[in-house]
Amino acid sequence: MSDARLSRRSVLTALGALGAAAALPPAAGAGPPGAGAPHPVRRAPAVHSTGRRVAILGGGMAGLTAAHELVERGFDVTVYEPTALGGKARSIPSPGTGSGGRLDLPGEHGFRFFPGFYQHIPETMRRIPFPGNPNGVFDNLVSGPAFRMSMPGGPDLTAPASISPLRLDVYDLDSLQQSLGAAFSLGGAIPPHELAVFARKLVMFLTSCLERRNDEWEHQTWSQTLEADGKSQGYRDILVSALTRQLVAARPQTVSTRTIGIMGQAFVWNALGTVPSYGHLDRLLSAPTNEAWIDPWAALLRERGVKFEMGWRADQFDLAGGRVTAARVAHSSGNRAVADADWFVAAMPVERAVPLWSPAVLDADPRLELMRNLTTDWMVGIQYFLRAPTRIAQGHVAYLGTPWALTSISQAQFWRGDFAARYGDGSAHDCLSVDISDWDTPGILYGKTAKECTPDEIARETWVQMQRCLNDVGEPVLRDDDLVSWFLDPGVHWNAASGHNTNDTPLLINTAGSWKNRPDAHTAIPNLFLAGDYVRTDIDLATMESANESARAAVSALLVASGSTAQPPAMHRLHEPPELEPFRRVDADRFHAGLPHILAG
């Protein structure tokens, strides 16, 4: 291992933005195929059919991606979607709010965020034409230059989202550990000795061999890894909770350290500017998602021959001879069997896929039974429409320490044209889009969890939690008089009788040890493929990127099964810095010798 060192000042300068970078909603890497699987992976038997008809069940991110890749390769594709194209990624207009020729105010499931290390979605976007854009829909991505972390009664931090490239080939573990500790100091909000613990754990992960990640780190929770018990409130709020609850709706007491660690690593390398193929760290769309992306995408697919059957929900698979012979689909008008397809792609989320695994399906592929062990949680959006532009930050904002783990983006500053002239009745000039990530912790206004609050109470409680962070110093940033209206994701349904909400669109959460429960894109049923953020991919997190990647994997497997000679879709891997390879080789030797990481203790 080299004794050469990078000056501490250089590392500190380059890592100054990492506190902000790590607090953004990200995606991460995955372990080796088959890791920890309790059953041998059954190989699908050879299929001699050369049929080209494909039924895709679900028109969200995974379904649209699969349709795009297949129709480009000459397949006859029909997509069956029960609700709306785009799934959780779509816009959801607030009905009846537009007047005078304006569009309805733009609501959504949650704000869109495209980290620079996303590679599959940008590649798809470049292939979707958009008027005036040389690179298609991709040119509708704009950069958020800054990120703000706000906390009640404490100093806020605003930092650039990306920094200049940094050499990573001339440091040692001590200097890297000191630099990371300084980068996450957050103005003294966390005691130095606790920062040292966090920095040591982070460096341990960055320099662990892949075997240790997939064995030890996969089975540790984030809270266990960071030794959260007994630490200060700042340490627990920011480093333990904010990097999990705030970003991916995961509980630090249950989420896998491997998932959070690889996710954080991707942000670190993106922020450092060390990977030429990565884009700007914080990117978002220049218009509501449907306008900027989903509608042009659907139009392109229709033009190329994809058929969309809207309102149809998959209820059952019929099997004979170990193959799917039909998919039973339901509509408000009745039921029918989709029996004219040669291939079937299940592209719905995990909570809708699992009920389809009948005894016949599980007999054909017993490993699918493990999907019942996967966990979902809530991460849902609410939009506030304001009378005046409210530029809290030129990018995303994390409200540290808020009971409901809030993040937001002031969207109008990034959108084309005049917001008030285009949307609503002309009185709203901005859209503050907020993600609520913790639905199980009592709030500060009503003392109830978000699941126990009416929609009105959710709107008021969320607003007050943000005010507590933003209005604690100087002139108020969020004023009640500026609020025109709000829009809560309609997938959240209040039940007055039970006093609780339900949620149509929960989010997959990667709990410790859950990798073994996740399937591959090709099942043991030769003509059934899976596409969704629960499928094993390199991006090991429930994101648009992992859904896109999984669909590409499903299409690649379908091409092989059908005997197609078409080129498979491009597949990308997250960057693993070669500069860290010497450290990882040392750790691999220690791991295989049964020894802990060299920094453990």
Residue 447 shares a structural domain with residue 533: no
pLDDT of residue 10: 30
Residues in Cβ contact with 28 at an 8 Å cutoff, skipping those fewer than 6 apart: 259, 260, 261, 262, 263, 264, 265, 266, 539, 540, 541, 574
Instruction: Pull the structure tokens for residue 193.
Output: 């000795």
Residue 537 shares a structural domain with residue 444: no
pLDDT of residue 149: 83
Instruction: Pull the structure tokens for residue 561.
Output: 């099964």
Residue 484 shares a structural domain with residue 422: yes
Q: What is the largest CA-CA distance in the chain?
A: 73
User: What DSSP string runs through 16-67?
Assistant: TTHHHHTTS--------TTTT-SSPPPPPPP------EEEEE--SHHHHHHH
pLDDT of residue 25: 32
pLDDT of residue 109: 87
Average pLDDT of the chain? 87
Residue 322 shares a structural domain with residue 354: yes
Whether the Cβ atoms of residue 183 and residue 18 lie closer than 8 Å to each other: yes
Angstrom distance (rounded) from CA 7 to CA 423: 52
pLDDT of residue 187: 53
What does the radius of gyration of the chain's CA atoms come to, in whole angstroms? Answer: 24
Domain boundary among 480, 503, 526: 503
- Write the CATH number for 419: 3.30.9
Name the H helices within 117-240: 120-125, 173-183, 192-206, 210-215, 222-225, 233-234
Domain boundary among 479, 503, 527: 503
Residue 194 shares a structural domain with residue 239: yes
Residue 100 shares a structural domain with residue 179: no
At position 184, the amino acid (one-letter code) is F
42 in any annotated domain: no
Whether the Cβ atoms of residue 199 and residue 177 lie closer than 8 Å to each other: yes
- Domain limits at 527? 53-83+311-374+516-562
- Total of domains in the chain: 3
571 in any annotated domain: no
Domain boundary among 454, 470, 503: 503
Angstrom distance (rounded) from CA 93 to CA 478: 23
3 in any annotated domain: no
Angstrom distance (rounded) from CA 92 to CA 5: 52
Residues of the chain with pLDDT under 50: 1-48, 164-167, 170, 182
- Write the CATH number for 529: 3.50.50.60
Residue 420 β-bridge partners: none
Question: In terms of C-beta density within 10 A (0-12 exposed, 13-18 middle, 19 or more buried), how is residue 472 classed?
Answer: middle
The residue among 517, 513, 549, 522 whose CA lies nearest residue 533 is 549
Torsion angle in degrees (nearest 10) through CA of 534, 535, 539, 545:
-80
Residue 264 shares a structural domain with residue 182: yes
pLDDT of residue 555: 98
Whether the Cβ atoms of residue 107 and residue 91 lie closer than 8 Å to each other: yes
19 in any annotated domain: yes
425 alpha-carbon distance from chain centroid: 33
486 in any annotated domain: yes
26 in any annotated domain: yes
Residue 180 shares a structural domain with residue 265: yes
Whether the Cβ atoms of residue 483 and residue 101 lie closer than 8 Å to each other: no
Residue 356 shares a structural domain with residue 260: no
The model's pTM is: 0.88
**Residue 95, SS3?**
coil
Angstrom distance (rounded) from CA 561 to CA 566: 12
Residue 487 shares a structural domain with residue 433: yes
At position 179, the amino acid (one-letter code) is S
Residue 463 shares a structural domain with residue 554: no
361 in any annotated domain: yes
pLDDT of residue 45: 38
Q: What is the DSSP letter of 161?
A: S
pLDDT of residue 579: 86
Question: In terms of C-beta density within 10 A (0-12 exposed, 13-18 middle, 19 or more buried), how is residue 445 classed?
Answer: middle
Residue 192 shares a structural domain with residue 255: yes
The residue among 476, 492, 486, 378 whose CA lies nearest residue 435 is 378
Question: In terms of C-beta density within 10 A (0-12 exposed, 13-18 middle, 19 or more buried), how is residue 486 classed?
Answer: buried
Whether the Cβ atoms of residue 56 and residue 66 lie closer than 8 Å to each other: yes
Show the beta-strand stretches assigned E in 174-302.
Answer: 283-285
pLDDT of residue 209: 96
306 in any annotated domain: no
